[in-house]
Amino acid sequence: MSPVTALIADDEEAPRGQLRAALAQAWPDLRIVAEAVNGVDAWDAFLEHEPQVCFLDIRMPGLTGIDVARRIDGQAQVVFVTAYGDHALAAFDAGAVDYVLKPVDSVRLGQAVQRVQTRLAQARGPGEPAAADLAALLSRLAGEMSAGQRRSTTLEVIQAGVGKEVRLIRVDEVVYFESDARYTRVVHDGGEALIRTPLKELLAQLDPQRFWQVHRSVIVAHRHVATAVRVDEGNMHLTLRGRPEKLPVSRHFQGLFKGQ
């Protein structure tokens, strides 16, 4: 049996190191495939490596741990790592959420690890979407956290350098974004452009009501989507209104298009 894979995300280096050391004791077989320093990276690393367990700090820049857990949507076991005094703890104690406190205590971590192992043994094949009550709890917490934050930065205009000019592209006009090596390709009503902002950072600034991520490297404005076509087991693509391109939908996002 291949070892269980894990992701660790914390914006501070010390707690990441501590958790890594504590996990080496509590779960020697665990293979940590990625470490992320903020929520945006954590989400991207999740899509890239598809780890089975994610240890997420709650307060992270870009996306909070709660936001990342909502996106993971039950596709991996999530254990929150947080400091004493976090107001989310009150909600966690009531619900079925796994968490460990910083500084990580080996006994408490051992218990969390055991629960995760039990659940991994029960789940066969790809995990089912998160239980409805857990999803509701996370969405409520996400709302509370964003209410306490400063201005929510929803991107309205994208600046793209094309030759000697800088073109301003309204986000409303964008059809899709695609990451392309070191650049992000912006395809819009009036053509296309390349920008330097990585796709994963754009994602945190886009209105999730209008833009859907459908692949690690593709974000699409859903009003331009015409059909979702299942090619075979595990493969799906989108066709667009009035455009010839076909966009891939990776496995994690296929749940977005399930028909009524």
Partner 1 sequence: MTPGATSRQREPIDWSQLWAPGPRRVFTAEELARAGGDAPSRTLVVMVAINLALLVFPVLQAVPPEALPRVSALVIGVAVAAFTQALRLWRRPSRKALLLHSWFGLLAYWAFVFALRWRVDDPVQRRWVLGVGGAALVLCMVGFWFVTVYRAHQIEARLRELDERQRVADMARQLAAAQIQPHFLFNSLAALEHWVQAKDDRAAPMLSALTGFLRATLPLFDRRLLRLGDEAKAAERYLEVMRLRLGPRLRFSVELAPDAAEAMLPPGVLLTLVENAVEHGIVPQVSGGEVVVRSWMDDKEMTLEVSDTGQGPPDEVAEGTGLSNTRARLQQAFGTRARLHLCGTPEGGCVARLTIAPADGSAMKG
For residues 95 and 88, give the distance between their C-alpha atoms in angstroms, rounded to a whole number: 11
Contact residues toward partner 1 (CB under 8 A) are 11-15, 17-18, 21, 38, 40, 59, 61-62, 83-86, 101-104, 147-151, 153, 201
Q: Closest distance between partner 1 and the C-beta of residue 190, in Å?
A: 28
Q: What count of other Cβ atoms lies within 10 Å of the Cβ of residue 51?
A: 23
- Minimum CB distance to partner 1 smaller for 40 or for 97: 40
For residues 49 and 36, give the distance between their C-alpha atoms in angstroms, rounded to a whole number: 12
- Minimum CB distance to partner 1 smaller for 150 or for 182: 150
Strands (E), the chain: 5-9, 31-36, 53-57, 77-83, 98-102, 157-162, 165-170, 174-180, 183-188, 191-195, 211-215, 218-221, 225-232, 235-240, 246-249
Q: What is the DSSP letter of 76?
A: S
- Minimum CB distance to partner 1 smaller for 91 or for 101: 101
Structure tokens at 194: 């390349």
For residues 123 and 174, give the distance between their C-alpha atoms in angstroms, rounded to a whole number: 39
For residues 18 and 76, give the distance between their C-alpha atoms in angstroms, rounded to a whole number: 22
Q: Closest distance between partner 1 and the C-beta of residue 73, in Å?
A: 23
Q: Closest distance between partner 1 and the C-beta of residue 151, in Å?
A: 5
- Minimum CB distance to partner 1 smaller for 103 or for 126: 103
Q: Closest distance between partner 1 and the C-beta of residue 64, in Å?
A: 9
- Minimum CB distance to partner 1 smaller for 16 or for 188: 16
Q: Closest distance between partner 1 and the C-beta of residue 15, in Å?
A: 5
Q: Closest distance between partner 1 and the C-beta of residue 150, in Å?
A: 5
Instruction: List Cα–Cα distances, 233 to 20, 230, 254, in angstroms.
Output: 36, 8, 11
- Minimum CB distance to partner 1 smaller for 18 or for 239: 18
Q: Closest distance between partner 1 and the C-beta of residue 36, in Å?
A: 11
- Minimum CB distance to partner 1 smaller for 16 or for 185: 16
DSSP string, 174-189: EEEEEEETTEEEEEET
- CA-atom Rg of the chain in angstroms: 19
For residues 184 and 178, give the distance between their C-alpha atoms in angstroms, rounded to a whole number: 6
